[in-house]
Amino acid sequence: MKLLPNKHIPTSLSLVGTGALLLEHLESPSSVSSLWETVKHERQVGNFLSFVLSLDYLYMIGAIDYNHGFLSRSLR
């Protein structure tokens, strides 16, 4: 999985695109496992490794927070 899309990798299959999908599903705080259960059948997410890498990316750019076992959209 690539971080950014290019002429061979569509946006939907990049970490940026997958991260956008995860943010759409994080309307309220959610545990990692419940978010995975919600999105695991999405073609865009692919597998658990892509899911975790996308969460890592979102956390690194400050788009999500992890507090007391729950993921949420960042208020920054």
**In the chain, what's the furthest Cα-to-Cα distance?**
40
pLDDT, residue 8, reads: 73
d(CA 10, CA 26): 23
Q: What is the pLDDT of residue 76?
A: 72
Q: What is the pLDDT of residue 1?
A: 56
Q: Which residues of the chain have pLDDT under 50?
A: none
Length of the chain: 76
pLDDT computed for residue 5 by the predictor:
65
Element (H, E) at 66: strand 64-67
We find that the CATH architecture of domain 11-73 is: Orthogonal Bundle (1.10)
Q: What does pTM read for this prediction?
A: 0.86
Count CB neighbours of 41 within 10 A: 7
Residue 53 has a pLDDT of 93
